[in-house]
Amino acid sequence: MGRLLEVNNLQTQFFTQDGVVQAVNDISFYLDEGETLGIVGESGSGKSVGVMSLIRLIPIPPGKIVGGEVIFDGQNLVKMTDNEIRSVRGNRIGMIFQDPMTSLNPVLTIGRQIMEALELHMGMDKTQSRKRTVELLEKVGISGAADQVDRYPHQFSGGMRQRVMIAMGLSCNPQLLIADEPTTALDVTIQAQIVELVQKLQEDLGMAVIWITHDLGVVAGIADRIIVMYAGQTMEEAPVRELFAKSRHPYTHGLIASLPRLDQRSGKLESIEGLPPDLVDLPKGCPFYARCKYRIPKCDKQRPKLDEISPGHYVACHIDINKDSITTEHPWEEDKE
């Protein structure tokens, strides 16, 4: 499989009245064709801004990509002209957003909203694009699609709207689909359906997927690799099995520990104490320092680099929690008493 996307040292900042918000702070990752990459992090960790920056969808101003490059299929998206990037968006890179309730234009029919991308990128006329729109809607599991194309978003349920969004994101057969928390606003049964749908479509169409979520549980089943982001930086990156089995970063540990588990009787869920740092005023050292159980003085002074500790497994941490401290299944368990 060829390399589809390579992101090197991407930095996105927002220039606000309160100061410069360092939303994405030097992240690098890659994606192969047909691969699924999960990006996990809590709210404000820069995961959405990071992928938005790939196709330059961040509002400029106040946002700005201040450094790095995004090599997609051999071309640097950061250096492209506005017209060039527009021919990539929606065409070779499709996108699905978090809230299907607000992400569709309420005053246009869903058909119109899907057709306009087809007409723009694939040069179809009204009849062709309409025919393809019906096919796409059927493909994403909207029954009676021919009758549904002329309906408005408010006439659909949340899950159905997300299917419409997916049809829209896939309309021009993209090489890459970016799914920005597509299941967050949906209830659990619908979440599972949407995850399955995207997986099935990915198999059919052979596209690569970047799946952003704050829920490790969602990406555990679908991603090939997972990147854990915190305060705009990559904390850990590993193949999915390795991440769950041998996570090295205290933050990743915390995330895994805070997943609800069926094999534990205790009713209370683990949580990571404290709040993420202010992105305007990032600490000099490790951004997770203030919340870290394993911190050592060095962590406050020097920001850890992302090191490859085993093939494909990268960690940005000064210590090895499996060696340097009491090894417990979950590092916070000792505090519970």
CA atoms of 49 and 226, how far apart (whole Å)? 17
User: For residue 194, how far is the Cα from the chain centroid?
Assistant: 15
Among 76, 105, 271, 328, binds other proteins (CB under 8 A): 105
CA atoms of 308 and 296, how far apart (whole Å)? 21
Shortest CA distance to 93 belongs to which of 4, 187, 188, 195?
A: 4
Smallest gap from Cβ 59 to other proteins, in A, equals 8
By CB under 8 A, tell whether 177 contacts other proteins: no
Taking the least distance from each CB to other proteins, the nearer of 152 and 294 is 152
24, 232 Cβ separation under 8 angstroms:
yes
CA atoms of 131 and 115, how far apart (whole Å)? 9
Token reading at 23: 């939303």
278, 303 Cβ separation under 8 angstroms:
no
Smallest gap from Cβ 117 to other proteins, in A, equals 4
Positions 43 through 62 that interact with other proteins (CB under 8 A): 55, 57
Find the part of the chain contacting other proteins (CB under 8 A) among 37-45, 95-103, 207-215, 248-256. 95-103
Q: What is the DSSP letter of 77?
A: G
Smallest gap from Cβ 130 to other proteins, in A, equals 16
Taking the least distance from each CB to other proteins, the nearer of 126 and 298 is 126
By CB under 8 A, tell whether 192 contacts other proteins: no
By CB under 8 A, tell whether 122 contacts other proteins: no
Among 41, 50, 68, 90, binds other proteins (CB under 8 A): 90
Shortest CA distance to 282 belongs to which of 48, 24, 58?
A: 24
Smallest gap from Cβ 55 to other proteins, in A, equals 7
Smallest gap from Cβ 191 to other proteins, in A, equals 19
Shortest CA distance to 176 belongs to which of 99, 75, 106, 267?
A: 75
Taking the least distance from each CB to other proteins, the nearer of 95 and 319 is 95
Burial state string for 190-217 with b = 16 or more CB within 10 A and e = fewer than 16: bbebbbebbeebbeeeebbbbbbbbebe
Among 16, 87, 157, 328, binds other proteins (CB under 8 A): 87
Amino acid at site 229: M
By CB under 8 A, tell whether 139 contacts other proteins: no
Give the distance between the most distant pair of CA atoms in the chain: 68
91, 148 Cβ separation under 8 angstroms:
no
By CB under 8 A, tell whether 262 contacts other proteins: no
Q: What is the DSSP letter of 162?
A: H
By CB under 8 A, tell whether 6 contacts other proteins: no
Among 1, 107, 188, 326, binds other proteins (CB under 8 A): 107
Taking the least distance from each CB to other proteins, the nearer of 20 and 120 is 120
Smallest gap from Cβ 268 to other proteins, in A, equals 35
Taking the least distance from each CB to other proteins, the nearer of 86 and 330 is 86
Helix (H, G, I), strand (E, B) or coil at 239: strand
Smallest gap from Cβ 227 to other proteins, in A, equals 21
Taking the least distance from each CB to other proteins, the nearer of 168 and 207 is 168
24, 93 Cβ separation under 8 angstroms:
no
By CB under 8 A, tell whether 89 contacts other proteins: yes
Strands 313-315 and 63-72: unpaired
Among 32, 69, 73, 116, binds other proteins (CB under 8 A): 116
238, 307 Cβ separation under 8 angstroms:
no
Taking the least distance from each CB to other proteins, the nearer of 36 and 113 is 113
Q: Which residues bind other proteins (CB under 8 A)?
A: 55, 57, 86-91, 95, 97-99, 102-108, 113, 116-117, 120-121, 152, 154, 165, 168
